[in-house]
Amino acid sequence: MLGSGRRGIGQLALVRQRWRCDVRAIASKPDPSKPIHAVSVKKNVSVQDMHSDQLDTRHLVLPSTNPAWQVTTQSHFEVYANVPPDWTTALESLQVHWDWRFDNVLHLQCALTHFSRYFPNTHHLFPANRASNRSLEWLGDSVLNTCVASYLFQSYPTVQEGQLTQLRSALVNNVVLSQVAMDLALPSAMLLGDSITHAYDHDTALANTMKQTLHASVVEALVGAVLLDQGMVRAIEFANTRVLPKAIQYAKTKPWDPVSEIYRRANAHGFTIRFERYVHGSVYGGVSSRSLGPKLTTTST
């Protein structure tokens, strides 16, 4: 019997939590008739754990030729992801929409699956980070940035590095990439967990920011999926033809940022910009502490 007062409430909460875990364990119990890859997520890996064996350059350029990293199987989705019955049709429609076909659709499935899709009590049973877009986002972000950097370097041969960095940031960010995701029709095909799906039922600033982050992550994961599926050259081609043109288009329509424009024009004329907070009276207190806003000072370089 539960106790009374706060102790009783705490016990009740504990019982509810255990009940939820038990239900999840039953709902996500693996089917013994289906093969499961016995590889789980590793944590606390340090630089000391890195081996000194050098990968063949062919494996770096065309990862599909190296079986060592391929730990995700179709059975992981069948058992743990609760795949909707019409998802296969949705994936086919996406490839038609992009005019781009995956050799192994498993990579596309991983790119569109959020980590929250898998119950926490199953993460030790299979490589959930690889069967979702977590690792692919990390991989695709590097490829996309390389593609954009090469594009900017060749397009603006006389522009300094700081300006190139600003241009790259204007193209590769959550706001722009989330719009690219919408254009690629990615959100409707994403597999999300219940903890994330509720964000789509709200129109708050926090919910919209979360959705932008999710959608941008899928674009990066998609580029990473193409790399694993068809190699580095094709991944850069996908980024250059399916992502970059749309990113440029949407970046140009973003609201004007006056602060960035001031920095840009000042740097172009050899000035260094520094913003200071001007306070009426002494900096250490003085007559009044009423802030009168930012004070702009410039220094010639």
Q: Which one of the listed residues 49, 194, 220, 276 is annotated catalytic? A: 220
| Catalytic residue check, 261 | no
Q: Is residue 98 part of a domain?
A: yes
Q: Is residue 218 part of a domain?
A: yes
126: nearest Cα among 136, 137, 115: 115
Tally of structural domains, the chain: 1
For every one of its 301 residues, what pLDDT tens digit does the chain have, with 9 covering 90 and above?
Answer: 334 444 443 443 333 333 333 333 333 444 434 444 456 667 778 888 887 888 999 999 999 999 999 999 999 999 999 999 999 999 999 999 999 999 999 999 999 999 999 999 999 899 999 999 999 999 999 999 999 999 999 999 999 999 999 999 999 999 999 999 999 999 999 999 998 988 788 888 888 999 999 999 999 999 999 999 999 999 999 999 999 999 999 999 877 666 666 766 777 677 777 766 555 554 444 433 344 444 455 555 5
| pLDDT (0 to 100) of residue 279 | 52
* C-alpha span between 99 and 102 (Å, rounded): 10
Q: Is residue 272 part of a domain?
A: no
DSSP secondary structure letter of residue 54: P
The domain that holds 198 is classified in CATH as 1.10.1520.10
| pLDDT (0 to 100) of residue 285 | 41
Q: Under a CB-based contact definition with an 8 Å cutoff, are residues 25 and 121 in contact? A: yes
SS3 75: helix
SS3 172: coil
> Which residue spans within 83-186 are E strands per DSSP?
none
Q: Is residue 54 part of a domain?
A: no
| pLDDT (0 to 100) of residue 17 | 36
Phi and psi torsions of 291, nearest 5° = -80, 135
H helices then E strands: how many in the chain? 13, 2
Q: Which one of the listed residues 103, 141, 261, 276 is annotated catalytic? A: 141
Domain extent, residue 111, equals 59-250
* C-alpha span between 53 and 183 (Å, rounded): 42
Sign of the alpha-carbon torsion through 222, 223, 227, 229:
positive
* C-alpha span between 129 and 40 (Å, rounded): 9
Residue bearing tokens 């959020």: 114
* C-alpha span between 159 and 149 (Å, rounded): 12
| pLDDT (0 to 100) of residue 282 | 46
Indicate the helix (H) or strand (E) that contains 219. Answer: helix 205-230
166: nearest Cα among 150, 179, 149, 183: 149
105: nearest Cα among 222, 242, 238: 222
Q: Is residue 50 part of a domain?
A: no
Q: Is residue 176 part of a domain?
A: yes
* C-alpha span between 134 and 255 (Å, rounded): 30
**Which residues contact residue 181 at a Cβ distance below 8 angstroms, ignoring those fewer than 6 apart?**
187, 215, 216, 218, 219
| Catalytic residue check, 53 | no
Cα radius of gyration (the chain): 25
| pLDDT (0 to 100) of residue 157 | 96
Half-sphere exposure in the Cβ direction for 49 (13 Å, CA): 5
Q: Is residue 275 part of a domain?
A: no
Q: Is residue 94 part of a domain?
A: yes
DSSP secondary structure letter of residue 243: I
| pLDDT (0 to 100) of residue 39 | 64
